[in-house]
Amino acid sequence: MSSLVDLNKTEGQPGCLKVAALVSGRLGAQELWAIKNISAVRCRLYVIRATQATAVSKYIRAHRLIKEYGLLRTASRWLGGLIGSRVAAKNRKMLDELFDVGALEDWWNHSDIRPHNVPTLNHPDSRSLLEELAPDIIIRVSGGILKPHIFSLAKIAALNIHHGQAPLIRGMWSIPWGIIEGRPDWIGATVHMIDEGIDTGTILWRGAPQLSPGDAYADLLFRTHLEAVSALVQILKIYALDETPRPWTCLPQEISAYRSAPGLWEWIKFLRLDQGRRAQVLIRKGIKC
């Protein structure tokens, strides 16, 4: 692995990547931490920010959910979302403190990086902007599923950090699902290439944080994100040397599971487990480690 000195080259010379980091909505502590560390590779970095998550109306989205999951499951997801929004707000405050969001925001305000705003990440404006920028690497830092007309514009690779150990667990809310279903092997992160599936692309890195008694979701997400961003940076350094990272080798017996948004019962169970602090599977695993 080369040092950063080898990568401090001007644009247009070998070793200088053009990287487009895609984010959605507010730049929180997680996003700022990733962007700051990516920028340390001394690449030509562009940040593309979607001002909204999706252009699909609430009515159309509800209709699609009812068609896919049925009325009761859709209602359960909606009620669970009401609980989840409050929990998410508290966890954001905890993560802001763990990441020292004040220092990150100060860095962001004094950096020369200015985001290019688009309506959504899959919007035609986003495609036009990426065609103009012609990035070597596209990184989905946050936001929904990228469509082929977006991720295919990367000259070398489109990458994603999935907070969960793929292919064991794919989809959203993977770490909480690991807590609820007693699967510590789901808790971790994956850096993978983006393809047309959901978290099914070639895996370049996979790791898991140390589990300790008393861990909650925010603690696990914080440690997981630190390791995943560090791994992503090392992968970018390899690409900057005009080399290809070695794919991660999954065990043949690994069975892939997919989980979507939780419903009311899952949120209740998650809170009864105190977001992991009372989960026996994590306590036993932490003591064993």
Q: What ranges do the domains of the chain cover?
A: 4-288
Compute the average pLDDT of residues 111-137.
96
Give Cα separations from 190 to 166, 172, 205 (angstroms).
6, 13, 6
Per-residue pLDDT tens for 262-273? 999 999 999 999
- How close are the terminal C-alpha atoms of the chain, in Å? 29
Q: What percent of the chain has pLDDT over 90?
A: 77
Q: Which residues pair with 169 in a beta bridge?
A: 257
Which H or E run includes 34? helix 29-39
CATH topology (fold) of 4-288? Rossmann fold (3.40.50)
Per-residue pLDDT tens for 222-251? 999 999 999 999 999 999 999 999 999 988
* Distance of alpha carbon 75 from the chain centroid: 27
Query: What's the pTM value of the predicted model, to 2 decimals?
Result: 0.90
DSSP label at residue 202: P
